[in-house]
Structure 1
Amino acid sequence: MRSSPSAGDPKNKHLRALDGAGERLRLFKADVLDYASVASTVAGCAGVFHVASPCPAAQPTNPEVELLAPAVAGTLNVLRACREAGVRRVVVVSSVGAVFMNPNPPEGPTMDEHCWSNEEYCRATENWYCLSKTLAEREAWAYAEKAGLDVVTVCPPLVFGPLLQPTVNTSSLFLIRYLKCDGVDAMDDRVRNMVDVRDVADALVLAYESPEAAGRYICSAHARKVSEMVYVVRSLHPSLNCANKFVQLVGDEKVFSTEKLQRLGWKFRTLEETLKDSVESYMSAGILS
């Protein structure tokens, strides 16, 4: 990224502290809804990773303004700027939210890259995040086909792992809620799909660097009930006040195939390593004690 006066913003302190950042990292302030700022950011780049998209921790009051428009318009601005700049390949981070929200899924529990969320079903169930990711990814593919731009998308589920930034992301808030268990009698015991943030980073690099990479890639490592995740954490840190009562839920199990991504050479960490490093990161940040 290019340098700018905003590089001194305190919120970027963790980036400037990375090994080699002083010599190799340059920061540039850009708003994905401002085409001019995006265009100046990607100018001269050979590859671009588009990861910015709203992901609220609570239900939005105005989903069109808070989620849908920024996700779609921001993605199109990035792709337009990349085409104008002659970028070789754009890797767009989508989500399994653009894969599984469908009232008529394929037979069997496993879903792959051919599966798409149903937009009307997302609206009917008010699952605005999944709708935003679905609309944005579909727009990305439509633009790529029209403009002849080389685009690859990566679709992760919940993303855990050690925090790099000082703030807590939405996926981590989900896990922390179960580990704190503040004033809640019982937690829902759904099957959740998850992946380590470091493994997502590896997937993005593979999607960019592998000449044969094309299309969508699901990037999911583990499908576990919440009670299983909590059991692993409790075995590592018995003093944590984790949830211990769960409401059993059935019929929502989704397992995602990662065969396509693994053919690129992708590997992922064990659930135990991801949860261990996540919890220790939260403790170091004072979020858990």
Structure 2
Amino acid sequence: MSSLGGNHQQVEVVCVTGASGYVASWLVKLLLDHGYTVKATVRSLSDPSKVGHLKALEGAKERLHLFEANLVEEGSFDSIVDGCQCVFHTASPVILKVSDPQAELMEPAIKGTLNVLESCRKVSSIKRVVITSSTAAVMTNRNPRGPDVIIDETWFSDPEFCQETEQWYNKSKVLAEKAAWKFAEENGIDLVVMNPGFVLGPLLQPTLNFSSEAFLSLVKGEDLFSEYTFVDVRDVAYAHLLAFENPLATGRYCLVGSTVNYGAIVNILHKFYPSLNIQYNGSGDPKMFQVSKKKAESLGVKFTPLEVSLKDTVESLKEKGFLTI
């Protein structure tokens, strides 16, 4: 039996940072469903909107241990990751409008990642570290993006281009990821990185996260981006689990189920929810570039169809009172 792999008597304790987040909540749920004991970090244990939905998960009473940790405080993860076989580092700020990019984004993203890795470096039980990055660390560069272009794991965003175009979030993601790769290489850490696109799907947490807010804007008729690289939150969580359990997992994984423009989204939403009445004046449906699924599928990821994800997101937002149709 591999030390990485499905023997849960042996592979028992894992850590998830930023556990109250959108992807992380699903990851915690999945890990508990698979029999793991989970040490989960949150910013505040006293905030019910951050911990209530985690405590309510099946298996949480017996196998979920919540801790408070500060991303930028050195050593704050030392005792938490001790005894873990894997650390899933999902915690990182997601803000697009910032007044101080350095303090609000760069520092917590880069320093936070290095802090967690520094704690992992000291623990011999840790077999692998899985970091949640983003396609923001992959796609933001001067490369042309026409219908004949396939973006894959060899692409990295260009920090200078991000700076010029003031895409601070994207800059924080690529710098944090590059810092992680450098640290892992220098310290012999087995690192795997997940690069999901625009995450959608049902919410476990009671509050809106960035991508759910962005999705609400879409439903209200705002075309936020020129293209959308969508992936279902459940697929992202499952990919993280596979990245740990599959001993052959290595390097980066682009996680994008479909690349579409706004018109395609509107068409699907109209089909299921004609009453939404989204005004869209876009012309035609130009062919989009593609993001390669090869590597993710080789890991065992099966992407949820976009129609299912869109419908489940709308239903979840309705159920939680964020959307009335």
TM > 0.5? yes
- Mean alpha-carbon deviation: is it higher for 7-16 or for 90-99? 7-16
Secondary structure of the structure 2 residue equivalent to 1:131: helix
- 1:109: which partner in 2? 149
RMSD, matched Cα:
2.2
Quickly say closer, same or farther: Cα 1:23–1:138, change in 2 above 3 A.
same
**Structure 2 unaligned runs (5+)?**
1-37
Structure 1 residues 247-272: Cα deviation after superposition (integer angstroms, max 9, x where no partner):
77979x44210201111111111111
Secondary structure of the structure 1 residue equivalent to 2:88: strand
- State the 1:243 CA deviation: 3.5
The percent identity for this pair of structures is 42
2:93 to 29, 54, 64: 54
Could you tell me whether the CA contact under 8 Å between 2:140 and 2:162 is conserved in 1? yes
One-letter amino acid of the counterpart of residue 266, structure 1 = V
2:130 to 84, 91, 95: 91
- 1:80: which partner in 2? 118
One-letter amino acid of the counterpart of residue 261, structure 2 = K
Paired with 1:224 and 1:4, the residues of 2 have a C-alpha distance of 34
Secondary structure of the structure 1 residue equivalent to 2:276: coil
Secondary structure of the structure 1 residue equivalent to 2:65: coil
- State the 1:105 CA deviation: 5.0
- Mean alpha-carbon deviation: is it higher for 78-87 or for 150-159? 78-87
Structure 1 residues 219-242: Cα deviation after superposition (integer angstroms, max 9, x where no partner):
110111112112211211122242
Paired with 2:90 and 2:116, the residues of 1 have a C-alpha distance of 10
Could you tell me whether the CA contact under 8 Å between 2:86 and 2:128 is conserved in 1? yes
Could you tell me whether the CA contact under 8 Å between 1:72 and 1:139 is conserved in 2? yes
1:41 equivalent in alignment to 2:80: yes
1:279 to 310, 314, 319: 314
Quickly say closer, same or farther: Cα 1:191–1:267, change in 2 above 3 A.
same
Could you tell me whether the CA contact under 8 Å between 2:132 and 2:193 is conserved in 1? yes
1:27 equivalent in alignment to 2:44: no
Quickly say closer, same or farther: Cα 1:52–1:4, change in 2 above 3 A.
closer
Paired with 2:103 and 2:286, the residues of 1 have a C-alpha distance of 34
- 2:4: which partner in 1? none
1:224 equivalent in alignment to 2:260: yes
- 1:270: which partner in 2? 305
Quickly say closer, same or farther: Cα 1:36–1:51, change in 2 above 3 A.
same
Secondary structure of the structure 1 residue equivalent to 2:304: coil
Alignment of 1:140-155 (within 5 A): 140-155=180-195
Could you tell me whether the CA contact under 8 Å between 1:190 and 1:248 is conserved in 2? no
Structure 1 residues 144-179: Cα deviation after superposition (integer angstroms, max 9, x where no partner):
110000100010010000011111111122221021
Structure 1 residues 175-232: Cα deviation after superposition (integer angstroms, max 9, x where no partner):
2102123xx6xx4673211000000011101111110111111111011111211221
Secondary structure of the structure 1 residue equivalent to 2:53: helix
2:278 to 215, 234, 242: 242
- 2:13: which partner in 1? none
The alignment covers a number of residue pairs equal to 283
Paired with 2:225 and 2:105, the residues of 1 have a C-alpha distance of 28
Paired with 1:4 and 1:38, the residues of 2 have a C-alpha distance of 9
1:255 equivalent in alignment to 2:290: yes
- State the 1:116 CA deviation: 0.7
One-letter amino acid of the counterpart of residue 18, structure 1 = L
**Structure 1 unaligned runs (5+)?**
none
Could you tell me whether the CA contact under 8 Å between 2:72 and 2:112 is conserved in 1? yes
Q: TM-score, normalised by structure 1?
A: 0.91
Paired with 2:307 and 2:114, the residues of 1 have a C-alpha distance of 38
Quickly say closer, same or farther: Cα 1:7–1:28, change in 2 above 3 A.
same
1:196 equivalent in alignment to 2:202: no
